[in-house]
Every structure is written in structure tokens, then in C-alpha cells.
Amino acid sequence: MLGAVDAPRADRIAVAAADRAAALERQADAEPDAVKRSRLRQAAVAARIRAAQAAIAASKARVALTDRRLAAEGARLAERQLPAARLVAAVQALSRRPAALAIMQPGSTSDIVHARALLGTLLPVVHARTEALRQALARTRALRAEATEAATALADANARLQSGRLALARLQAEDRARGAARGGVESEQAIALGEQARDLAGMMAQSAAAADVRTSLGQLDGPLPRPGDTPPAPAFTRPPYRLPVRGRIVEGLGELSDTGVRSRGLRFAVAAGAPVIAPAAGRIVFARRFRDYGTVVIIDHGNGWSSALTGLDAVDVVVGDSVTMGQPLGRAAMAEAPRVGVELRRRGLAVDLARLIG
């Protein structure tokens, strides 16, 4: 609510707020998005409330000013009324006295003449003071009319304020209801996305398991080695790794996304059609579209390591291809805001990429 302000300043605030509300209402009428339209309407109602509060402040300032002027005018009127009333009473008393009675009273005829002359002199003064009193009474009546008008304006502003508050509460309730309904849909979407993420993780685990089987089969004893031949021990060191795409990281490992799904890797905001490369050498074990992930490419790096890249569009590899680090795999989707994700796993467990990139 506005503090103690003068009426003209409060009027300016009220006009500015009303203009702002009208502009917001026009924007709301032209806004196609329901959520943005609701927010604009709420802002418009809030501006209307601000205008009503300013009008109330202006009306209160006018009522207070009128009350002070009425009190001052009343005091001046009372101050002038008393001597004027006494003078008028004296003149009226003299004018009602019969001439014969005046002659019979003690005093000379010259006293009577002087009294009559005094009456003639006083009459213009009486008329002037009476006119001043009439003007003061007219000002008082005008001030009372202003006070009534200010009180009416105050009541109207209070009514607009209450109406605006009710309208704002109604809009907020509708917005909450839409949000609750939207939250239910988003909750279902989050559950679905969580299930898809688990499916992707399961698919990676299956691919890794199949790769482990192939690795184990490859490590089975073959023909007996010739004397002096010592086959090298299988290496279980972590592979060198690099980022598969240039872009801005928008989601990190373990972060909770907007849909409530915890990230198992990194997501990048990239340019439409940005090239995507192999983060490390390996063998392609999966390369096709999968659910809402776009085209997914899974690379088996050996020794239980695997990478999954999501959000691709066209790919240049097929299952069974061997790739080297930095080899092109395909391109990001040709969308307005494409995202490319990369997940690195070691025997089914998510691994922090930051420890491998160097």
C-alpha cells in the first residue's frame, strides 16, 4: 500500500499503473501460450490493484485536506459571525424603535441625529460583512461537496481494490490447478523417462556382458604356444578418452534433470547437425534409433568399458564396425536446440568422464 503521499502524486501513480495494466491486458490477449497468457493477466490484475491503491491514497489525501480546510473555514466563519451578529442585532434594535420613543428619551435632538447618521454609516459595513459571511458559507458548502466526492471516490477505489484482489486470487487458483494437472502429466513423463533410462542402461549392460563373453572367449587357451613364446597379459587399464562433441555442458553426472531423472553421464547443448566422434577406440555394438533418445550408438571399448552416445540423427557406422578415437560417428539432430548425451560405463556402473578426459 502507498504511504502518505500528496493527491497529485498519487493520481500520477494511479494513471501510470492503469496504463501498465491496459498494456499487459493487450499483451495477454495476443499471447498464444496459455501459461504466459495467465502470467500476463496476473500481472495486469496486480497493476490494477496498484492503481486502486494509488487512487485510495489520493482520495484519502483529498479527504484529509478537505477536512482541514473545512475546520479552518468553520473557525473563520464563527469568528466573523459573532461581531456581525451583534452589529446586526443592534441595528435591528435601533431600526425597530419608534421615533416618538426616541424623542421622549433623555438627550438632545442632536443625539438622535448622530444615532441615525451612525446607522447610515454602519449599514454598508453590515452589508459587507454579511456578503463575506455568505461567501464563507458558499465555500463551506463547496468543501462539503468535495468531501462527499472524495469519500465516494475512496469507496469506489476500495471496491476496485477488493475486486482486483478477488480476480488475482481466482487467476492464481486457476494457475495452480493447471500446474497440478501439468504436474501429473510431467510426473508420468518423468516415470516414463526413468523407465527409458533404465532400459538404456540395461541395453548397455547387455552389450557389455556380450562383449565380456567375447573377451573371455578370446582369452580361452588356443594351440599350445611354442617354447619361448609368452603371450602378453590382457590389459585392464582404463582407455584414453575424449569428449565426443563440441558444445556446452547442460547436465552433469548425477544431476537431477527437470523431469526428475538423475543423469548417468553428460549432456551437451550443441549446434544443429554438429559432428559427433568416437570418444575412444572400440567396436560398435548398437547403432539405431531407440525410444526418445534419437539414434543411439554404443561402443564396446573392451575390458568391460562401454560408451553410449544419444541424440544423434544420421550415423556413419553399423554394428560390428571398429572405430578409432576421434573417428566420425554421425551428426547431432537437426533440431532447434539439439542435445547430445554421452555415458561411460565400467561393467554396468556409470563412470565420471572427468577422470578420464585429459
Contacts of the segment 194-200: beta carbons below 8 A, 24+ positions apart: 194/260, 194/261, 196/291, 196/292, 196/293, 197/261, 197/264, 199/291, 200/290, 200/291, 200/293, 200/296, 200/308, 200/310, 200/343
Instruction: Give the model's pLDDT for residue 103.
Output: 52
pLDDT at 63 over 90: no
Q: How confident is the model at residue 118 (pLDDT cuts 50, 70, 90)?
A: low
Specify the higher pLDDT residue, 172 or 232: 172
Q: How confident is the model at residue 35 (pLDDT cuts 50, 70, 90)?
A: confident
How far, in Å, CA of 147 to CA of 64, rounded? 9
Q: How confident is the model at residue 189 (pLDDT cuts 50, 70, 90)?
A: very low
Q: Are the beta carbons of 73 and 143 closer than 8 angstroms?
A: yes
How far, in Å, CA of 196 to CA of 202, rounded? 10
The domain segmentation of the chain, as residue ranges, is 7-184, 240-355
Summarize the confidence of residues 58-75 as an average pLDDT.
Answer: 76
Summarize the confidence of residues 34-60 as an average pLDDT.
Answer: 78
SS3 percent helix, strand, coil of the chain, rounded to 5, is 60, 15, 25
How far, in Å, CA of 185 to CA of 94, rounded? 98
Instruction: Give the model's pLDDT for residue 273.
Output: 85
Q: How confident is the model at residue 276 (pLDDT cuts 50, 70, 90)?
A: very high
Crossing angle for the helix pair 34-96 and 7-30, to the nearest 10 degrees = 150
Instruction: Give the model's pLDDT for residue 181.
Output: 53
pLDDT at 282 over 70: yes
pLDDT at 187 over 70: no
pLDDT at 341 over 70: yes
Q: Are the beta carbons of 341 and 266 closer than 8 angstroms?
A: yes
Q: How far apart are the first and last CA of the chain?
A: 59
Which of the following CATH numbers is that of domain 240-355: 1.25.40.10, 3.40.50.1440, 2.60.40.10, 2.70.70.10? 2.70.70.10
pLDDT at 61 over 70: yes
Percent of the chain with pLDDT over 90: 9
